[in-house]
Amino acid sequence: MWWLVSPGNPLKDDAGNAPLAERLARAREAAGSAAIVVTDLEARMGTRYTVDTLARLTECFPRARFVWLMGADNLAQIDRWKGWERIFRLVPVAIFDRAPYSTRALASKAAHRFARHQLHGAHARRLAEREPPAWSFFHARLHPESATAVREREAAGPSPHTRRER
């Protein structure tokens, strides 16, 4: 699995972002597995938009079976992304449940646009084998804290309430 750390989100102000090197280091620490390769591939390829990255990857690796992984929060607003419909036509897409976005994601413009291409149940396990467009929504045990809250907590440093006496 490749974890692409983006050089910047075109839909967000970069002012609050940590430098790419720091975000790469945090992602590598979070990945904690040799099975997940954390990379700055987008920065090295010079792509800023997912659709351009996926087009380049499928062009460079024509025999590879890519699946785009994203959270439900992104499905809820993917229609704001450049070339969002083409993303679904380039590679199968796996969407992972993220509270509190599930309902909004499954009612989104993209979910309706590609409804007939959604794989359910046992068929979802074979997503990587399907020709795009194909997508599935995976329900999972949810972590109650947002990524933003985690980053803010880490930036503030350890809380005196969570320190242990030695």
Q: Lowest-pLDDT range, 41-45, 57-61, 138-142?
A: 138-142
> From residue 107, how far is each of 18, 67, 102, 119 by CA, in Å?
33, 22, 9, 16
Is a pLDDT exceeding 60 seen at residue 28?
Answer: yes
pLDDT tens readout for residues 57-79: 999 999 999 999 999 999 999 99
Which pLDDT does position 17 carry in this prediction? 79
pTM value? Answer: 0.82
> What number does CATH give the domain 65-166?
3.40.50.620
Domain positions in the chain = 1-48, 65-166
* Partners of 39 in beta bridges: 4
Tell me the average pLDDT of the chain. Answer: 88
Per-residue pLDDT band for 163 (boundaries 50, 70, 90) equals: very low
Helix (H) or strand (E) holding 57: helix 50-60
CA count, 13 A, side-chain hemisphere, 81: 21
Structure tokens at 75: 């499905």
